[in-house]
Structure 1
């Protein structure tokens, strides 16, 4: 049988052509490997761009750079992206090759909205992340948010909406909590505690907030100058606690107003 193959000129021409093509492929592969492994293409620089104000370069240098492997051609950009996004304050990163021996990393930092729980932060996208709280700026300007697992975006959205609404009353929600039963409560920077309770079919959280905006000024002016807490969980009324007596200053003299 082999003799028949050796003596078949057409078949032998095909076999010879196959081995020649295979040799060319292997030779080309060897040449490519030789070129891409030249020292000139070894990664020597990493350029950080974008939001880098809070990026700890010392930590980046010690935790990310030693794990970057390969050359300009062989570096695994997806692995490098995951390494970068694991760093504090990095929300997203995109990696590009920079000819002939570098990487260009575009970074989007977390923008802190508030604290979450006791030790973490939540960003403006409603995503919880871990970072040094001292690097977030003035902690006194960050509200405290908390809620069940999976409710982070919902609580962040509530904070943004409540901030805008309470602004009309000269207040700011410095604490918002969503309970395990999904009942809302908040404390303002003026010391007011607000109970909103759960979303109800005929009495939504938005309706409760609108009732607060409408009733609070009237209660403060006509009933109780110093309101400590207000409970808006009841469809037909509100419960308030506070002090009916308020001290006022008139022409540098102290007076007392009784209601």
Structure 2
């Protein structure tokens, strides 16, 4: 009597369910629903469900006389992370089948050390804003173990940004002089890029190295040559 025989899935307010179905949930909790309407361990069931792919958070309530209501918040994929994981829009890592991603949405590839994912999402947002006047987007963004940045853009150009001094502070843009170096570095490139394109017509720039205090170095395709471009 009162055994759990019904389960209703609902998206949390403001969300929709794109990847989670009743079949997914039934498969995930098979063998983990113990007890009846009164005795089922909801915290344990919640913890188990939240380990399932695509599920970021679930609230579970009882539905008289023999059911449960699951209000689910899915992970919202933001980017691919390292070899086989994903980052959501909150800067959290989760594991899911990448083949289930929407083919109509572009997901950049992020690579970085453990614990750097929130910084990665923050910096990517800053970079996207700074690059918007050039109509360029991030294809790949990499952070080394020494917290040095390298970014590949949608036009094939690679930016070498060097070490992120602001990564050592709580709020990378919270007023520290070091913290604004990332934005200043990128802004320097954004301001110079149209001029560079005009001066180097007919030559394809494949890399810009911004690890210089007052300038940068550029590398041309198929030519073993670097030219420093001093800021004017």
TM-score by length of 2: 0.83
| Preserved CA contact (<8 Å) 1:133 1:139 | no
Tell me the equivalent position of 1:67. Answer: 32
Tell me the equivalent position of 2:213. Answer: 235
One of 51, 75, 78 as aligned partner of 2:43: 78
C-alpha deviation, 1:241, in angstroms: 1.5
C-alpha deviation, 1:140, in angstroms: 7.2
* Rg comparison, structure with higher value: 1
Q: Give the whole-Å Cα distance in 1 for the aligned partners of 2:19 and 2:74.
A: 8
Deviations 1:140-162 (A, max 9, x none): 71100011111011011111221
Q: Give the whole-Å Cα distance in 2 for the aligned partners of 1:90 and 1:219.
A: 46
Tell me the equivalent position of 1:210. Answer: 187
Deviations 1:206-240 (A, max 9, x none): 11011011111111112455321111110111101
1:1-259 mapped onto 2 (5 Å cutoff): 39=1, 41-50=2-11, 51-138=16-103, 141-200=106-165, 204-224=181-201, 226-242=204-220
Deviations 1:86-120 (A, max 9, x none): 11000001111111111100000000001001111
TM-score by length of 1: 0.74
Stretch of structure 1 that moved more, 85-94 or 56-65: 56-65
Distance 1:57 1:97, change over 3 A: closer
Point out the structure with the larger helix share.
1
Stretch of structure 1 that moved more, 226-235 or 177-186: 226-235
Q: Give the whole-Å Cα distance in 2 for the aligned partners of 1:80 and 1:212.
A: 51
Distance 1:196 1:119, change over 3 A: same
Give the paired residue count: 206
Tell me the equivalent position of 1:252. Answer: none
C-alpha deviation, 1:52, in angstroms: 2.5
Q: Give the whole-Å Cα distance in 2 for the aligned partners of 1:44 and 1:58.
A: 14
Find runs of 4+ consecutive structure 1 residues off by over 6 angstroms. none
Q: Give the whole-Å Cα distance in 1 for the aligned partners of 2:93 and 2:76.
A: 11
Structure 1 regions of 5+ residues with no counterpart?
1-38, 245-259
SS of 1:103's equivalent in the other structure is strand
Structural RMSD (CA):
2.1
